Amino acid sequence: MSALLIRDLRLALRAGGGFGLGLVFFLILVALVAFGVGPQGALLSSIAPGMLWVGALLSCLLSLDRILALDYEDGSLDLLATAPLPLEAVVSIKGLAHWLTTGLPLVVVAPALGVLMNLAGPGYLWLVLSLLVGTPALSTIGTFGAALTVGLKRGGLLMSLLVLPLYVPTLIFGAEVARRGAEGLSVATPLALLGGITCGTIALLPFASAAVLRVNLR
């Protein structure tokens, strides 16, 4: 399993669809919003939690089509499907590799972009915590979407249409945690719901992804 994880990390970095692309897109999106709104600190501060979460979500979405596409194109996916390692473990590792190369870097740079968006001081901790708790769900759901569309020509757009509605609960509660934290309100309820969504997706979706892959590879 560790060898597969290291392999997927190397592929993601070499293909250019993870670390660098997501970070650059996140930076450009937040910068454009900040420049578009202008020097209105109160307005920027009020929209910062939601905007940063939307930016993180779209940055994760950029590289979803590469989670399984590269393995499908070179035939590695067929070998993995017949390997002793359960297919559920394979898709879980691929989701973890996507989070390590895309989600985790976004968590790290989010505070710096929060400065650009004039995020309130108390909100930085809760922004990072909400992204740390919520982004694994984005990668897990994205892996399920990649499994649904693997092998389809130009499946990236279809995958986006399938995955985006599933992202909405994570976006709502993640942004709510950051917003309430910035305003000094209690974050217990949205944070618990966000954690529940992440735990539920990690527990259930690998089985759904593996089942879909078995159907698509027949």
pLDDT tens sequence across 146-189: 888 887 776 677 888 889 999 999 999 999 999 999 998 999 99
Q: pTM of whole model > 0.85?
A: yes
pLDDT in tens, 19-32: 678 888 999 999 99
Can you give the C-alpha Rg of the chain in angstroms?
18
Q: In the 8-state DSSP scheme, what is residue 103?
A: I
Does residue 125 have a pLDDT over 80?
A: yes
Confidence of residue 85 (pLDDT cuts 50, 70, 90): confident
End-to-end CA distance of the chain: 24
In this structure, how many other beta carbons lie within 10 angstroms of the beta carbon of residue 28?
Answer: 12
| Residue 16: per-residue pLDDT | 52
**What is the residue extent of each domain of the chain?**
2-216
Cα separations (Å) of 193 from 6, 49, 143, 177, 189? Answer: 32, 17, 21, 10, 6
